[in-house]
Amino acid sequence: MAHRSRQDRPLTAGVESTRPTSRDVARAAGVSQATVSLVLGDKWRGRVSERTATVVREAAQELGYRPNLAARNLRLGRTRTALLVVPALTNEFFARVYTGAATVAARHDFGVVLYPSPEGVGPAKDPFASARAALDGVIASSMAAQALAAIRGSDLPLVMLDSDPADTAAAAHVNLDIADGMRQVTDHLLALGHRRIVHLASAVTSWTFDVRARALHTALDGVVDAHVRTVPAPLDVDGAREAAVRALTVPGPRATAIVCDDDILAAGACKAARRLRLRVPEDVTVTGFDDLALATAVEPELTTVHLPAEKVGERGMAALLAVLDGRRPEGGDLPVELVVRGSSAPPAA
């Protein structure tokens, strides 16, 4: 395919106020209008060379060309809008998921509407008169597919994030290796010498918390002298503090470590230790999960599992775009990493 040099590209005909068209871009780049459509619609890979795509993008930028999205969407039968459903807006994790999804969406001229389910992880109501008419697809984080029946419609593509991969109602799944994260926590505590452990478990019914509980118990099953006791707690600091106080004051030898399903629960556990005049980590080790900003705001800073929330959002949006284009989404769980900080240490002698 022949290309004209940038010096040879003709300028848009007419007065400066005339809006450039795809034909002007094609003429400036020395390519066909079909090629311009492929490149600016981000469907050029495998059809157009990278050099040609660069030439087209540069020509469009120089001319100040902006595609007529309304006309294009009408032709495609799309709204170029995705709905991201999350259990809550107050949790930083979901804000970071949204940031990742919106970043990828923007590169493809898509918009992302963020919608917190009124019932948390329970049934989510349709935020529009008709989701099918207003959306191209739904991305749902840490929820069950059946909770989204009112939103999805009969044929609206659904991508599930941090949710049960066995749920066949979803067109694609994007998950973190949550089980490995809990295994890393357990290995860290066992290596330090902890054997009496409290699991401060989220009282919220969710696949991701079920995985954490199973992974912890599985990792400790083969350790003869290890003992773990699960204590459920509301997913807030005050509720976690009260649950941790009860766990640390039961008759018998006190637990030397508290493994928390979430950094918010871990903050409550640290407050419980202070209330009982116990030192973290000298008297009791506390670990979290998620690596929220809270993890470095408490003192001592939390040993916790870092979850790449933005990458979850990025891959979720990329998966929805792949489904819409008839492509296979990228597979495999995203890796997580234990971050060791000051809240964990060997148990007191």
**Residue where the block lists tokens 């003429």:** 27
What percent of the chain stands above pLDDT 70? 85
Tell me: cis bond preceding 123? Omega within 30 of 0 counts. no
**Residue where the block lists tokens 């003192």:** 299
Beta partners for residue 240, in sequence order: none
Which position has the higher pLDDT, 83 or 125? 83
Kindly report, residue by residue over 39-63, the tens digit of the pLDDT: 877 777 778 888 898 998 898 888 8
* Structural class in CATH, domain 178-306: alpha beta
pLDDT at 335: 97
Measure the CA–CA gap between 299 and 302, rounded to whole angstroms: 8
Domain with CATH 1.10.260.40 in the chain: 6-67
Is the predicted pLDDT of residue 313 greater than 50, yes or no?
A: yes
Measure the CA–CA gap between 239 and 288, rounded to whole angstroms: 15
Residue 119 carries which side chain, given as an amino acid letter?
E
Between helices 237-248 and 263-275, what is the axis angle to 10°?
50
- Fold topology of 6-67: 434 Repressor (Amino-terminal Domain) (1.10.260)
Taking residues 117-128, what's their average pLDDT? Answer: 65
Kindly report, residue by residue over 246-288, the tens digit of the pLDDT: 999 999 999 999 999 999 999 999 999 999 999 999 999 999 9
The candidate with the shortest Cα–Cα distance to 162, out of 344, 8, 315, is 315
Domain with CATH 3.40.50.2300 in the chain: 78-175+310-332, 178-306
Which position has the higher pLDDT, 199 or 128? 199
Beta-carbon contacts of residue 33 (< 8 Å; ≥ 6 apart): 22, 23, 26
- Fold topology of 78-175+310-332: Rossmann fold (3.40.50)
State the average pLDDT for the chain.
85
Taking residues 176-184, what's their average pLDDT? Answer: 97
Q: DSSP secondary-structure letter at 303?
A: B
Measure the CA–CA gap between 58 and 64, rounded to whole angstroms: 10
3-class state of residue 161 by DSSP? strand
Tell me: cis bond preceding 20? Omega within 30 of 0 counts. no
Phi and psi, residue 116, nearest 5°: -80, 130
Is the predicted pLDDT of residue 323 greater than 60, yes or no?
A: yes
- Rounded to an integer, what is the distance from CA 273 to the centroid of its chain? 31
The model carries a pTM of: 0.75
Measure the CA–CA gap between 180 and 188, rounded to whole angstroms: 12
| 145 CB-side CA count, 13 A | 18
**Residue where the block lists tokens 């478990």:** 201
